[in-house]
Amino acid sequence: VTTVLADDDMPVVTDHIMDADEEVLVALGYKQEFKREFSLLSSFSVSFSVLGLLPSVASTLGYNMGYAGPVGMVWGWVVAATLIQFVVLSMAELCSSMPTSGGLYYASAVLAPDGWGPLAAWITGWSNFIGQATGPASVDYSLAAMIMAAVAMVSDSFVPTIWQTYLLFLLLLFLHGTVTSLSTKLLARINIFSATFNFVALVVALVVIPAASIQMPKLNSAQYVFTSFVNGTGWPDGFAFLMSWLAVIWTMSGYDAPFHLAEEASNANIAAPRAIVMTGVSGGILGWFLNLVLAYVVQDIGAVMASPVGQPMGSLLLSVLGPSGGVGMFSLVIICQFCMGQSCLTAASRVVYAYSRDGALPGSRIWAKVNSYTQTPVYAVWFIIGIAALLGLLAFASPAAIGAIFAIGAVAQYIAFIVPIFLRVFVVGNRFRPGPWNLGRWSRPIGFVACCYVLLITPILFFPSAPSPILTAMNWACAVYGGAMGLALIWYAVAARKWFRGPRVNIEHRMYGRDAVSGV
């Protein structure tokens, strides 16, 4: 493994015989604290549920369809999802080499130049934390909006208020927090069910939606689907096409979940990277098929976007399947979104636990505690719930403000994804020791493409949907993400740099001969 421990520094464990997974984790400097109840299937189930293709596409349909029309839905997905696979492969290789809950944060600390490990870990960790913290907020607020839209589809007189949506959002957060506080064994079973239900619902949508359109008939021509560009922004067509990638990027940002669950997985340095790749590839392919189907059936993009239902996917299903069929299919989307929210919270809580274990977050002593009964980081779960509840208050500012949590999540996650990959490609040299799952001689070329892709999309995700008016069209992602990261860097410069040394070794090892607090 690639570890924070020096070559001549050996961990010492004398009270029991370790299995292969624990040997790897101990070599990374950490005790085995979780039960390893996640298999390849259950690890993949968590990340596939986090993707939640059907509800994710429904939540972000306003970005690809609304920004670039059918071309954004079809070709935008193809280009963006293909480039994302380079990030997926590079991340999987890092995971095999360093299968720990700290994931990207740990990798950045190890791969950074001498003396820069703590800062690299701090930047990666905080960016990943911001992305993970906004995930449950964006998923559950979208879910609340979907439920309100479903009620509006049934009752023409119902017009949901922001207060109603926010209170429902809080209830959903509470339900997800309760479920995610259960034991690892129960969570593994729940996530297998969630992934299965997501896949079945996706297949149903891929079959039922075009079948209903053929009968009516309402299918668009292939020429319209593959060549029609409808610019819904105030920007030039080429830039609008790039902006439509936000739908793909937000949807395809949960494949890192197996990395964060590596300390709870069996055969982690093989199963976890395989789960990452399986999630990335299946998400890219199945997501494209779903967008293709929707591009064939949408008749009036302007009407769908401006519908009083208030949710583009709900409006589209209502126009294609009719009132009863539309509500029925939209109900499947809502259930999938609920499953997705629970998986997002599971992954986010493990990130908080890992960073708190190393003292990187305020209140780390609390969030790093593992419940003795469930063997899960319950305090970390409710810490994320509290942050999500506060982020939901952005809804009272403006629709653009609450919509920013989608862009924040995408930007924060991909910046965290790319920092260790960049270090692997351009800095690390021979300090990187590949795990059993690796890219061989293709490692650096693939990582290089991944870095170029993230460099391209990051500034684009901060742009508003239109050049003006600046206040109503403003993309609040730059303010929220920039403000949070700015405060984190100020904290590091003023205080944290004096005591933060990156990942903390929490096992006894020969060089120190005690329970050390060590870093890079």
Structure confidence by residue, pLDDT tens digits, 218-253 = 788 889 999 999 998 888 999 999 989 988 988 887
Q: How far is CA 343 from the centre of its chain?
A: 10
Q: Cβ contacts of residue 159 below 8 Å, gap of 6+?
A: 152, 308
Q: Greater confidence, 312 or 432?
A: 312
**Residue 228's domain is classified under what CATH number?**
1.20.1740.10
The residue length of the chain stands at: 520
Cβ(111)–Cβ(519) below 8 Å: no
Rounded CA separation 128/423 (Å): 16
Question: pLDDT class for 518, splitting at 50, 70, 90?
Answer: very low
At 272-302, the pLDDT tens digits run 999 999 999 999 999 999 999 999 988 888 8
Summarize the confidence of residues 136-142 as an average pLDDT.
89
Q: Which residue has the tokens 């079973």?
A: 189
Identify whether 261 is part of a domain.
yes
At residue 36, does pLDDT exceed 80?
no
Cβ(153)–Cβ(328) below 8 Å: no
Residue 166: its pLDDT value, please?
A: 94
Identify whether 310 is part of a domain.
yes
Q: Other C-beta atoms within 10 Å of 483: how many? A: 11
Question: pLDDT class for 92, splitting at 50, 70, 90?
Answer: very high
Q: Greater confidence, 135 or 406?
A: 135
At residue 385, does pLDDT exceed 90?
yes
Residue 380: its pLDDT value, please?
A: 92
Residue 517: its pLDDT value, please?
A: 39
Identify whether 513 is part of a domain.
no
Which of helix, strand or coil describes residue 129? helix
Rounded CA separation 169/391 (Å): 11
Identify whether 106 is part of a domain.
yes
Percent of the chain with pLDDT over 90: 28
Q: What is the number of domains present in the chain?
A: 1
Identify whether 475 is part of a domain.
yes
Residues pairing with 508 in the sheet: 515
Residue type, 421: I
Identify whether 274 is part of a domain.
yes
Q: Cβ contacts of residue 445 below 8 Å, gap of 6+?
A: none
At residue 5, does pLDDT exceed 60?
no
Identify whether 33 is part of a domain.
no
Residue 472: its pLDDT value, please?
A: 56
Tell me which residue of 304, 298, 300 sits closest to 209, measured CA to CA. 298
Structural domain for 124, as ranges = 39-498
At residue 520, does pLDDT exceed 50?
no
And the tokens for 413?
A: 């996650």
Residues pairing with 38 in the sheet: 265
Identify whether 23 is part of a domain.
no
Residue 104: its pLDDT value, please?
A: 84
Report for 15-24, 153-162, 338-347, 449-458: range of highest mean pLDDT? 449-458
Q: Please tell me whether the overall predicted TM-score, pTM, comes out greater than 0.85 for this model.
A: no
